[in-house]
Amino acid sequence: MGVHRTTVGEVVTAVSDALARLLDHFVTFPTDGQIAKVKQKFFLLGDMPNTIGVIDCTHVHIQAPHQREWEYVNRKGRHSINVQLVGDADLAITNCVSPPL
């Protein structure tokens, strides 16, 4: 596409930083006033009583960092970070936990 690799890296970093600053605005756990409605949706969806979220984790592959590289080697010997997400019955992400690089 004719774009230098350094430029792509700078743009990806800038966009990632901007999205990270907006995370708390869009990714929010249900408030006390929303919990009853969320529980009802999960119950109607799959007979799951008293459920306000479902959780899962995944390893996201990364390039080996220059510092403390060994801390990012997973059980398969690849470099990755473990990311945890919680979602609601509408498939919206309500919580995200990932370590800083």
pLDDT, averaged across the chain: 92
Residues of the chain with pLDDT under 70: 101
pLDDT at 3: 87
Per residue in 82-95, pLDDT tens? 999 999 999 999 99
The first and second tokens of residue 4, run together, are 């230098």
pLDDT at 30: 93
pTM of the entire predicted model? 0.75
